[in-house]
Amino acid sequence: MARKTLSHAELDRTLDDFARSPDTFQKSALKLIDELDRKGTDLEITDPSTWHRGGLQPQPARIENQLRADIDEIVLLDRQAEARLARRIEFARMRLEKLLSETGLSLTDLEHGIAGSPQSFIGQGRMTCTLPVKVCRRWAELHALRTEMVERNLYLVLINVERYAHTTAGRPDLIQEGAGALYRAVDGFDWKRGLLFRTYAVHWLNQAFRAYLYNFTNTVRVPVYLQKAMKHVNQAIARLGDPNASVERIAEVSQLGENLVQMARSSVRSSRSLDAPIGGDEGTSLRELVGPTVGEEGPYSTALEDHTLEGSLHEALGRLSDRERLIVNLRFGIETDHEHTLSEVAEKLGVSLERVRQIQVRALNKLRTPKLRKEVDPFLN
């Protein structure tokens, strides 16, 4: 006997109602899950061709160009469709977790019990599952939704990978790391906060790119702590204005131990083939450009600084006066539970609405400097 299937359109109508009260969303969703389980109803698994334009394009010769062409064929999500997809993902995850709890299984059991691509897309993927049929189905439903969110945001990988084009890492490798990071972003995304997925995902992408560069771009792997120490060493040398500064002076300015400074300076070395092309497959080789006057900037790029979103915002806002920072925080919902209007801020501070606007403009102008933009740029879209 064929099992019943609940379409995404039907599910969305119900979840949209639940979403009107975000605080009770999970409680309402659990009741619906119980009802669907009693009826033996599965969730629809969408054919990915529905979000691909499928135009007949000539096949580019290079893999990277082919990937870009494929991503260009993917239909992007608008804000409403993205929120609905995020709610479906949360619902499917809750349903899977409930079933795992009832069957006494764990996520580790799930990883070991499923091989291949856990998809039931038409003509795509093949899944070998040694777990109970219901568990396999629930995982396939969740994975299909996660994959849709990832695929329809792959353009973010191509946009943000350009920031690392100057590194020695291969672009296809970075793109692959970025795709994996999108899955982690999907798993951590909370639609109830009202953010766009891309705002949240950019942070994960930059962290993934930097982690890859830290760990895999040296011929001999240098521990991350030494690479980070070298960043502070370079900053200290820049402040001293003396590339030949002693270890003692660098340690004093960087507030690192002398031994760590010495280890960082002697350990962090980049390597690159002299025959590696520059500027394309048939560009000039590095050997042709190397000469006695070439400067040595060191192997560490400050673009790889391991920022966090919270730390970068704190660094940027720290340049403002107390009143400017308070107004920016209130207006943009930083460290508060919601964004405030100009009139709300004016009422809180006991000043005119025009005065609040003037202070906000002055604060934003202070933040529009190259140095401060660099602090938060990895998280801007």
Q: Is the pLDDT of residue 216 over 80?
A: no
Compute the average pLDDT of residues 71-95.
94
223 conformational bin, left if phi > 0, alpha if psi -120 to 50, beta if neither? beta
Task: Tell me if the pTM is above 0.85.
Answer: no
Q: Is residue 186 part of a domain?
A: no
Q: How far is CA 304 from CA 115, 224, 235, 278, 295, in A?
A: 35, 11, 13, 21, 20
Residue with tokens 């709610």: 87
Report the run of H or E that residue 41 belongs to, with start and end: strand 41-43
Domain boundary among 119, 152, 185: 152
82 and 13, same structural domain?
yes
322 and 253, same structural domain?
no
Domain boundary among 95, 118, 152: 152
Compute the average pLDDT of residues 91-99.
95
314 and 262, same structural domain?
no
Task: Give the torsion through C-alpha atoms of 121, 122, 128, 134, to 10 deg.
Answer: 60
Residue with tokens 């830290």: 214
117 and 42, same structural domain?
yes
Compute the average pLDDT of residues 250-260.
87
Provide the pairing of β-strand 127-129 with 4-6. Answer: unpaired
- DSSP symbols for 133-160: HHHHHHHHHHHHHHHHHHHTTTHHHHHH
Split into its structural domains, the chain has a count of 3
Averaging pLDDT over each range in 32-46, 62-76, 206-220, which range is the top one? 32-46
Structure tokens at 90: 């949360």
Compute the average pLDDT of residues 93-108.
91
Instruction: Select the more confidently predicted residue: 376 or 212.
Output: 212
Show the DSSP H helices in 40-78 as ranges.
Answer: 63-72
Structure tokens at 291: 């000469």
Q: Which long-range contacts (CB under 8 A, 24 or more apart) does 121-124 make?
A: 121/45, 121/46, 121/47, 121/48, 122/47, 122/49, 124/48
The boundaries of the domain holding residue 330 are: 309-379
CATH, residue 350: 1.10.10.10
Q: How far is CA 161 from CA 63, 201, 205, 238, in A?
A: 16, 13, 8, 28
Are 139 and 175 within 8 A, CB to CB?
A: no
Q: Is residue 187 part of a domain?
A: no
CB count in 10 Å sphere of residue 261: 24
Residue type, 144: A
Q: How far apart are CA 78 and CA 237, in angstroms?
A: 48
Instruction: Select the more confidently predicted residue: 128 or 192.
Output: 192
Q: Which of 255, 48, 282, 49 is nearest to 144 (CA)?
A: 48
Q: Is the pLDDT of residue 236 over 50?
A: yes
Average pLDDT, the chain: 79
Compute the average pLDDT of residues 262-268.
73
Q: Is residue 16 part of a domain?
A: yes
Q: Is residue 341 part of a domain?
A: yes
Q: Is residue 189 part of a domain?
A: no
Domain boundary among 92, 118, 152: 152
For the chain, the residue count is 381
Compute the average pLDDT of residues 121-147.
78
Tell me, what DSSP letter sits at residue 5?
E
User: With bands split at pLDDT 50, 70 and 90, how would you rate the model's confidence at 80?
Assistant: very high
Structure tokens at 349: 């501070």
Show the DSSP H helices in the chain as ranges.
Answer: 8-19, 25-39, 63-72, 79-103, 107-113, 133-151, 155-161, 171-188, 197-216, 224-240, 247-254, 258-267, 286-289, 309-317, 322-332, 342-349, 353-367, 370-376
Q: Is residue 137 part of a domain?
A: yes
Instruction: Select the more confidently predicted residue: 197 or 321.
Output: 197
Q: Is the pLDDT of residue 72 over 80?
A: yes
131 and 5, same structural domain?
yes
81 and 14, same structural domain?
yes
127 and 22, same structural domain?
yes
Q: Is residue 296 part of a domain?
A: no
Structure tokens at 86: 């995020």
**Residues whose CB falls within 8 Å of the CB of residue 302, separated by 6 or more in sequence, listed in order:** 231, 234, 235
Burial class (CB in 10 A: 0-12, 13-18, 19+), 316: buried
Q: Is residue 275 part of a domain?
A: no
328 and 254, same structural domain?
no
